[in-house]
């Protein structure tokens, strides 16, 4: 799929959002999706080259958060064309989102901590997050919550329709976060970060009050002296809002020599840091997921964490839980997990089981599946159900039928077919017996947009034939051409063989010959592919009535296709097909015959689409 990925809000690589973006970009690219990644100039050097990904780097003046927010809200929605992408992915919709809804959108929301932690942000950011972003996210077709806790908050605070929400746990890097240490890694970590004793670890930006460093420090101060003498408290993370409050408190603490601020920890050092820690603790007041918890568990480190928000949900029974607002509870949890050998062994074993719930590969699959929900596998319009597939899917299906010695009937439906089906219920019923009914023409695309049921691709016979001929030549499949005026199929055969010299066309026949004779002639050649050009609904009736006797693998009703490829009528220029004006070209070629079909028929089709939608009217 083609995905537009808004990577603004990357945070310079210093937050969990950065980890999330790196991993989802990588997994989506590995799965073969084509990504256009919109990123700031400052953050671009922090991201790797990815196969199938193109970076759209913003001017340096958009590096500043306010300018970046305004760009995302006002300019970004009009900078890219929705026609070029299957969907827009907002990997941090609780930070950046467009103010105008032009794409099928999958919005990922990590947390709504601002509703739970007082004074988390300044007045401007609180207004932006509480009033501006909800407006944008409510327009998204799918909203991904990275935990059940976040999903509940989306319903409660942002009034998101529960039917649009998908809970999708984050993953963790199983290839690097594992219990097997590298030789000398503990000594390397201790030396690099100037640590001398065993330690209790907390990795988080130094943010007050949200990350709850003060209560953790106060709980550490309450530990028995023998434990404080044995274990340092190591706090890794960059200073953030309110950090001075934490630093000032530690400066006055009697334990200040045992409380170590080591700054931002490089991602390459994290696995070794977890494995070297005697206990990983997470006392945060609120987390949307809490990625360090499963990372530490995967490394075999015993974990104690808050029982609120998503943390209790993510940790399950594999961590020692406590109320983050109770200093005594935090202290008791620390003491128990430091001293109780049996409890430590139990939590470690449970941790290895718990992390099986978290996979970046699975997370990316859910994101892509949410984007694919833009396209229903089958759409119904005016009483006719058609298959919403791509040209590649259709060709693969044809090949599969032939190779597996199966049988298949394929019809194409355009606006005129729907108009005919509106009155001719026998034709409409015929289509229910075809294996595939494919959307043909710009009219169906327009109808899909009007009914919020877009088609994946205009799968028309004119564009399919060259691909079908190429596949048939390569695979050695045989083709029979039946239909149109006398001589047209023969002329088409000659033209096809000029381009595909090894193509096996085993027979031709016109649409004016005796039906029984035509069926016998076709059956005698046993073609793999039978193209029938008798017009709607005659060709569908011919295929259904005679299919068992035709002795072919796949039969396709192709309408006026032979007229184009025989040269009787000029082919519609590619540019006119791209802009959906093929009908106008056909009208210019045969104005008298096509007047009723296009000049009257197209407006009637659109009126019925708006008026009746999926319904087929009165039977």
Q: How many CB atoms lie within 10 A of CB 160?
A: 21
Can you tell me the mean pLDDT for 370-391?
92
- How many whole angstroms from its chain centre is CA 386? 24
Q: Is the CB of residue 377 less than 8 Å from the CB of residue 388?
A: yes
Distances (CA, A) of 462 to 76, 142, 438, 543, 575: 36, 35, 13, 20, 14
- Report, as an integer, the average pLDDT of 567-595: 82
CB within 8 A of 82, min separation 6: which ones? 102, 103, 104
Which residue spans of the chain are classified as CATH 3.40.50.2000?
A: 2-167, 185-358
Q: What average pLDDT does the segment 533-543 reach?
A: 97
- 493 vs 461: CA distance, rounded Å: 16
pLDDT, residue 617, reads 66
Contact indicator for 397, 582 with CB cutoff of 8 Å: no
Q: Is the distance from CB of 169 to CB of 146 less than 8 angstroms?
A: yes
Q: What is the pLDDT of residue 540?
A: 97
Q: Does the pLDDT value for residue 221 go beyond 60?
A: yes
pLDDT score of 345:
97
Residue tagged 């169906």 (tokens): 444
Instruction: Please determine, for residue 589, whether its predicted confidence score (pLDDT) is greater than 90.
Output: no
- For residue 282, CA distances in Å to 85, 204, 352 come to 40, 9, 18
**pLDDT at residue 619 tops 50:** no
Neighbours of 80 (CB within 10 A): 18
Tokens representing 232? 């340092």
Give the span between the Cα atoms of 314 and 287, in whole angstroms.
10
Q: What pairing do the DSSP bridges indicate for beta strands 408-413 and 384-387?
A: unpaired
Contact 74, 62 (CB under 8 A): no
Residue of 539, 538, 573 whose CA lies nearest to 556: 539
CA angle 553, 556, 559 (to 5 degrees): 160
Q: Is the pLDDT of residue 608 over 50?
A: yes
Query: What pLDDT, in 10s, does the model give residues 263-285?
Result: 999 889 999 999 999 999 999 99
Average pLDDT of the segment spanning 445-463: 90
pLDDT at 558: 97
> Is the backbone peptide bond immediately before 537 cis, with ω within 30 degrees of 0?
yes
Q: Look at residue 618 and tell me whether its pLDDT is greater than 60.
A: no
Residues 145-196: pLDDT tens digits? 999 999 999 999 999 999 999 999 999 999 999 999 999 999 999 999 999 9
The strand pair at 504-509 and 529-533 is best described as: unpaired
Instruction: Say what the pLDDT of residue 182 is.
Output: 92
- Which DSSP state fits 73? I
The stretch 247-259 carries a mean pLDDT of 96
Cβ contacts of 52 within 8 Å, gap of 6 or more: 29, 32, 33, 34, 35
Which residue from 434, 550, 544 is spatially nearest to 482, judged by alpha carbons? 550
Nearest in space to 205 (alpha carbons), one of 257, 243, 168: 243
Sequence-ordered list of residues with C-beta below 8 angstroms from that of 290, at least 6 positions apart, any chain: 282, 284, 305, 309, 310, 311, 314, 315
Q: What is the mean pLDDT of residues 338-350?
A: 97
Of 463, 489, 483, 462, which is closest to residue 538 (Cα–Cα)? 483
The chain-wide mean pLDDT, for the chain, equals 93
pTM over 0.75: no
Confidence band for 11, pLDDT divided at 50, 70 and 90: confident
Q: How many degrees, rounded to 5, is the angle at CA 230 between CA 224 and CA 232?
A: 95
Q: What is the mean pLDDT of residues 299-303?
A: 97
Question: pLDDT digits over 96-147, tens only?
Answer: 999 999 999 999 999 998 888 776 677 888 888 899 999 999 999 999 999 9
Kindly tell me if the per-residue pLDDT of 354 is higher than 90: yes
Confidence band (pLDDT; 50, 70, 90) for 211? Answer: very high
What is the homologous superfamily of the domain 185-358 according to CATH? Glycogen Phosphorylase B; (3.40.50.2000)
Phi, psi dihedral angles at 84 (to 5 degrees)? -85, -10
- Are 8 and 27 within 8 A, CB to CB? no
Please give the biggest Cα pair distance in the chain: 104
Query: Does residue 350 have a pLDDT over 80?
Result: yes
Taking alpha carbons only, the member of 87, 124, 123 closest to residue 102 is 87
Average pLDDT over residues 232-236: 97
Please give the Cα distance from 307 to 288 (Å, whole number): 13
- In this model, does residue 356 exceed pLDDT 50? yes
The CA distance from 500 to 469, in Å, is 7
Give the CA count within 13 Å in the CB-facing half-sphere of 537.
Answer: 19
Gap between the Cα atoms of 493 and 479, Å rounded: 10
Q: What is the mean pLDDT of residues 64-70?
A: 93
Distance CA 492, CA 278 (A): 78
In sequence order, what DSSP letters do the residues of 292-337 get, joined into one string? HHHHHHHTT--EEEESSTTHHHHHTTSSEEE-TT-HHHHHHHHHHH
DSSP assigned state of 123: H
Contact 589, 569 (CB under 8 A): yes
| pLDDT value at residue 145 | 96
Alpha carbons 256 and 249: distance in angstroms, whole number:
9
Omega before 209 cis (within 30°)? yes
The answer to whether residue 244 scores a pLDDT higher than 80 is yes
Residue 565 has pLDDT above 90, yes or no: yes
Which tens digits make up the pLDDT trace of 481-527?
A: 999 999 999 999 999 999 999 999 999 999 999 999 999 999 999 99
Q: In what order do the strands lie in the sheet with 529-533?
A: 436-439, 408-413, 554-557, 529-533, 478-483, 504-509
CA distance linking residue 546 with residue 541, whole number of Å: 8
Mention the CATH class of domain 2-167. Answer: alpha beta
Q: Quick one: what percent of the chain has pLDDT higher than 70?
A: 99
């Amino acid at each position: 799929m083609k995905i537009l990925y808004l990577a603004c809000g990357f945070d310079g690589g210093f937050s969990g959002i950065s980890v999330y973006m790196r991993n989802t970009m990588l997994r989506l690219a590995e799965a073969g999706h084509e990504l256009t990644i919109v990123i700031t100039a400052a953050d671009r050097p922090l991201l790797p080259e990815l196969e199938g990904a193109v970076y759209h780097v913003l001017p340096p003046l958009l590096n500043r958060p306010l300018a970046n927010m305004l760009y995302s809200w006002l300019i970004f929605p009009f900078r890219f064309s929705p026609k070029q992408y299957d969907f827009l992915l907002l990997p941090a919709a609780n930070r950046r989102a467009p103010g105008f809804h032009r794409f099928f959108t999958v919005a990922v929301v990590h947390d709504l901590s601002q509703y739970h932690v007082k004074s988390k942000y300044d007045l401007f950011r609180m207004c932006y997050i509480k009033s501006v972003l909800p407006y944008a996210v409510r327009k998204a077709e799918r909203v991904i919550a990275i935990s059940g806790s976040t999903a509940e908050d989306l319903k409660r605070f942002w009034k998101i329709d529960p039917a649009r929400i998908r809970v999708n746990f984050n993953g963790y890097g199983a290839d690097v976060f594992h219990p097997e240490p590298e030789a000398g890694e503990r000594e390397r970590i201790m030396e690099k970060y100037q640590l001398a004793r065993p330690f209790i670890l907390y990795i988080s930006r130094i943010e007050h009050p949200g990350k709850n460093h003060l209560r953790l420090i106060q709980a550490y101060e309450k530990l028995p002296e023998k434990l404080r003498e044995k274990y340092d408290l190591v706090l890794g993370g960059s200073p953030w809002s309110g950090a001075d409050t934490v630093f000032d408190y530690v400066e006055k603490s009697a334990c200040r020599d045992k409380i170590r601020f080591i700054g931002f920890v490089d991602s390459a050092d994290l696995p070794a840091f977890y494995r070297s820690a005697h206990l990983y603790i997470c006392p945060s007041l609120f987390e949307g997921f809490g990625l360090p918890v499963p990372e530490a568990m995967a490394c075999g480190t015993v974990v104690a964490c808050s029982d609120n928000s998503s943390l209790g949900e993510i940790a399950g029974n594999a961590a020692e839980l406590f109320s983050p607002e109770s200093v005594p509870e935090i202290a008791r949890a620390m003491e128990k997990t430091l001293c109780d050998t049996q409890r430590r062994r139990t939590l470690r074993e449970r941790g290895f089981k718990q992390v099986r719930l978290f996979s970046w590969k699975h997370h990316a699959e859910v994101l892509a599946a949410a984007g694919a929900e833009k396209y229903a596998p089958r759409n119904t319009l005016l009483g006719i159900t058609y298959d919403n597939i791509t040209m590649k899917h259709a060709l693969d299906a044809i090949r599969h039928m032939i190779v597996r010695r199966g049988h298949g009937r394929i019809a194409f439906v355009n606006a005129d077919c729907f108009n005919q089906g509106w009155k001719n219920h026998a034709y409409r019923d015929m289509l229910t017996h075809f294996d595939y009914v494919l959307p043909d023409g710009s009219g169906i695309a327009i109808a899909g947009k009007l009914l919020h049921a877009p088609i994946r691709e205009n799968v028309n016979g004119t564009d399919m034939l060259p691909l079908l001929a190429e596949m048939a030549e390569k695979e050695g499949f045989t083709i029979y051409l039946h239909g149109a005026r006398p001589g047209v199929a023969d002329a088409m055969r000659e033209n096809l063989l000029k381009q595909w010299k090894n193509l096996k066309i085993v027979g031709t026949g016109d649409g004016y010959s005796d039906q029984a004779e035509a069926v016998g002639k076709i059956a005698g050649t046993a073609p793999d592919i039978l193209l029938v050009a008798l017009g709607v609904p005659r060709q569908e009736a011919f295929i259904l009535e005679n299919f068992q006797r035709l002795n072919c693998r796949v039969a396709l009703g192709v309408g006026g296709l032979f007229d184009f490829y025989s040269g009787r009528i000029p082919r519609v220029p590619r540019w006119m097909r791209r802009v959906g004006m093929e009908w106008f070209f056909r009208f210019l070629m045969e104005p008298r015959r096509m007047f009723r079909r296009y000049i009257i028929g197209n407006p009637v089709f659109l009126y019925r689409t708006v008026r009746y939608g999926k319904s087929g009217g009165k039977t």
